Structure 1
Amino acid sequence: MQAKAVGLTQGLPVSDPNSLQDVTINVNQPRGRDILVAVLATAVNPIDTKQRQGQSPVTTIMTDDVVYYAGAVDRPGSDAQYQLVDERLVACAPKTWSPAQSAGLPLTTLTAWEALFEKLPFTAAADANLGQSVLIINGAGGVGSMAIQLAKWAGLQVITTTGKPETTEWVKRLGADIVLDYHQDLGSQLAAAGLQAVDHAILLHSTDQYLPLVRPLGTIVAVVTNQHPLPMALLKPKSLNFAWEFMFTKANYQLPSMATQGSILAQVAQLADAGVIVPTTKRTLAGINAANLRTAHTIVETGQMLGKIVLTAPFDA
C-alpha cells in the first residue's frame, strides 16, 4: 500500500526547501515478527538532524547511462554480461572516451586518488600543492600512470622510477618532472637532480626498499604487499608516517565513506572530458572470454605492465 511520508534525497541545510520533502512511499507488508504501526506522533532528536545532514545524494544514474566503477571484491565481478554493483561506487563514464578507455580508469584511479588525497596530506584541486613533491615508485604501471597525472593536476613536483626507454618516455608524456632509473642508486640520482629527499612517497613496487628517501615528518603510502619484514626502525629517526592503501577497504567494510568512490570517479570523468588526463589503456583484446582473460592475466603477472590492458565485449561462449 502507499502512505504519505517526509523524506530526503541528499544532505542539505535545513534552510533549503529541498532538505525535507513531502513524498508518497510504498509500504511493504509485514513479514516475520514485524508489526505494521499507524504513526500518531514522532519525536525529533539530534540524531535525526545528523542523519539528514550526512545523507549521501541519491544516485543520478539512469537507465542507458554509460557508467564505470571498480566494484567490490566480495561480489561477482565484471567478467560477465551483467553485474550488480552498489550505486555508491558508480559514476557516469567520461563522455568523450571509449568504453575501453574508461574501463582502464576506476581501480587505478581510486587507488591513486586515495593515496594522494586521503593518505597523503595533499589537496585535491588544480595547482593546490605547488612547491611540494611526491615520489611515485613504478610510475609506468596502471596506478602510477594515473598517480602522475593527478599529482601534476594538483600542482606537485613528480619524481618517479622506470627501467626501460619506453617506460621512461611514457611517464614523461604523462608529466613526470624527474625520472630515476630503478636499476641504479636512487639516492644519488635524486641528489644529482638537486633534491636531498622528497616530501612524500607512494610505493607501487618493492615496498621493502624505498623507506629512506623521504624527508623528516613525511608520509609513505604503500600499495603492494612487502615481501620481507619492513625495516620500520628506519621511520623513527625521521618521525615518518606509514600507511597502506587498498581501495576495496571501503566496500569490504561497508564504510560510510563508500560513496566517496562514486564522487571521485565523477570528478575524474570531468577531468578526462576536459583533457586534463589522458587514457592509460595501452592494449585492448576484443572479446571477453576465457582465452583472452588468460592472455591478459599472463601479461599482468609479468609485473611489467605499461598502463592498462582491457577486454571489450562482445562476450564469447
Structure 2
Amino acid sequence: MRAITVTEPGSSDKLELSTVPTPEPGPGEVQVKMQAAGVNRGDVLQRQGHYPPPAGITDIMGMEALGVISALGEGVTGHAIGEQTLALLGGGGYGEYFVVPQGQLITLPEGIDPLVAAGLVEVAATVVSNFDRVKLGEGQTVLIHGGAGGIGTFAIQYAKAIGARVLVTAGSAHKLEYCRELGADEAFDYHEDWQSAVMVTTRDRGVDVILDIIGAKYLEMNVESLAADGRMVIIGMQKGVRGTLNIGELLNRRGTITATSLRGRPLAQKERICRRVEEVVWPLVSSGQIAPGKQTRIPLAEAARAHDLLESGDNIGKIILVNSQ
C-alpha cells in the first residue's frame, strides 16, 4: 500500500509517499481502507522526532481517520466488511489501509458529510475528555487558548452548548472575529496583554477552567488568571516544555493543574472516550449546536503541504488528507 513515511526527523521535506506492507488485523482489530485522515499537531511533533508512537503502534502518522472496513480480525463482532466508520488511532491514518481495535471505531454522526466528520474525531475526543476531566459545567467561565484552531473552534462550541461562558485567545483580527462567530463571548489577541483583558472582563475574579495548548510560555499567566478553585488542563506544548511556577499563586487560588495526552492512553480509556463522543458530542453536531469548522482538504500525496500549512499559523479550522485511490 501507499503511505506517508518519514525519512528522518526534521522538516516537512522529510515526508515521502512510499510503498509499505499492508497491515493485517490481529485479534479484536479491524482493517480499514482509508478515505480521509485528519492532520494534527501531534503529527508534526512526530515528524520532528518529538512525539514517538506508543509501544507496538505503527510509526506511520495519523491519529484519526475515516474509511471502509476491509477485513475483520479474530473475535470482532458488531461490525461488517464494507461498513463506513470513523476511528480514533494511535497511528496509521496516513496510509491507504490501517488497523484499529474495534473499541476505537466510532459511528458517523447523523446528517454530517463523512469527509467533514473525518476531521472531528480527534478534536471531539480531546475536548470532551478534557472538559470532563476538569468538570466544566453550566455557568462557569472557560478560557480557550488557540481559539481559531481545530481544537479551539470545536471547544468554543462545545463549551457554549453545555452552558459555559467562553473566552478565547487568537492571533489576528480575522481569527478573533471567527471565534466570536462560533460563539465566543470575548476574544483577545495573544500578541497583546490578554491576561489583563481576562481579569478585566471577569472583574478580577478569573476563570474557572483553562484549556491550554501553549505550555510553558503561558504557565505563570494562566495560573494568575484562575479563579478560586480554578482548574487548568494542558494539552499542548507549542511554546515550550519547561516553565516556572509560583506555587504560592496556585495555593492561594486552591488551583489545580493537570495535563493529558490522548494518544498514549490505555485501550479501555480510549474506548470510553469513543463512546462518550458518540453519546454526548455527536447529538450536538447532528442537531447543529456544534457546526463543523472550516476544513481544508489536501491529497494524501501532498502531506508535506498540509504540514506546512498547519505550522504556518495561517490555517483556520481543520486540515484533512484525502485518499482518492
Q: Same fold (TM over 0.5)?
A: yes
SS at match of 2:98: coil
Please give the secondary structure, in 1, of the residue aligned with 2:109: coil
Instruction: Tell me if 1:230 matches 2:239.
Output: no
Give the corresponding residue for 1:215: 227
Deviation (angstroms), 1:60: 4.1
Distance 1:265 1:259 in 2: 10
Match of 1:121? 135
Match of 1:80 in 2: 95
AA paired with 2:273?
Q
What letter corresponds to residue 299 of structure 1 in structure 2?
A: L
* Alignment partner, residue 54 of structure 2: none
Match of 2:84 in 1: 66
Contact kept? 2:216, 2:243, Cα under 8 Å: no
Q: Are the equivalent residues in 1 in contact too, given 2:171–2:189 (CA < 8 A)?
A: yes
- Residue 142 of structure 1 contacts residue 305 of structure 1 at CA under 8 Å; is this kept in 2? no
Amino acid at match of 1:67: T
Which residue does 1:271 correspond to in 2? 284
Q: TM-score, normalised by structure 2?
A: 0.69
Identify if the C-alpha distance between structure 1 residues 106 and 298 changes in structure 2 by more than 3 Å, giving closer, same or farther. Answer: same
Q: 1:296 and 2:300 equivalent?
A: no
SS in 2 for 1:155: coil
1:126-145 equivalent positions in 2, closer than 5 A? 129-145=137-153
Unaligned runs of 5+ in 2: 1-75
Which aligned segments of 4 or more residues in structure 1 are displaced greater than 6 angstroms?
A: none
Q: Does 1:166 align with 2:174?
A: yes
With over 3 angstroms needed to count, the CA separation of the structure-2 counterparts of 1:159 and 1:138, relative to structure 1, is same
Check 1:61–1:172 CA distance in 2 against 1; reply closer, same or farther (3 A cut).
Answer: farther
Q: Tell me how far apart the structure 2 counterparts of residues 149 and 159 of structure 1 sit (CA, whole Å).
A: 12
CA distance in 1, matches of 2:77, 2:197: 48
Residues paired across the two proteins, number: 242
Instruction: Report the equivalent of 2:8.
Output: none
Would the alpha carbon gap of residues 107 and 235 (structure 1) be closer, same or farther in structure 2, given more than 3 Å must change? same
Give the CA RMSD over aligned residues. Answer: 2.0
Q: Deviations over 1:53-95 (max 9, x none)?
A: xxxxx8644433321122114xxx1122221111111111123
In the other structure, the counterpart of 2:51 is: none
Superposed, 1:235-250 pairs within 5 Å as 235-250=250-265
1:152 and 1:203 map into 2 onto residues whose CA distance is 17
Aligned to 2:124: 109
SS of corresponding position for 1:130: coil
The residue that corresponds to 1:312 in the other structure is 322
Q: Secondary structure at the residue paired with 2:168?
A: strand
The CA deviation at 1:274 is 1.5
Aligned position for 1:185: 193
Identical amino acids, percent of aligned pairs? 24
Q: Is the 8 A contact 1:284 1:310 kept in 2?
A: yes
Q: Note the C-alpha offset of 1:304.
A: 4.3
Structure 1 residues 261, 194: CA separation in 2 closer, same or farther (over 3 Å shift)?
closer
State the partner residue of 2:58. Answer: none
Query: Are 1:204 and 2:213 an aligned pair?
Result: yes
Letter in 2 for 1:71: L
Larger Rg: 1
Question: Are positions 1:147 and 2:155 aligned together?
Answer: yes
Instruction: Report the Cα offset of residue 200 of structure 1.
Output: 1.4
- Mapped to 1, the partners of 2:274 and 2:303 lie a distance apart of 26
Structure 1 residue 157, shift from structure 2 partner:
0.5
1:203 CA displacement: 0.7
User: How does the TM-score come out when normalised to structure 1?
Assistant: 0.71
| Equivalent residue letter for 1:180 | F
SS of 2:97 mapped into structure 1: coil
Q: Does 2:274 correspond to 1:259? A: no
Corresponding residue number in structure 2 for 1:176: 184
In structure 1, list runs of 5 or more residues that go unmatched.
Answer: 1-57, 123-128
1:111 offset after TM fit, Å? 1.1
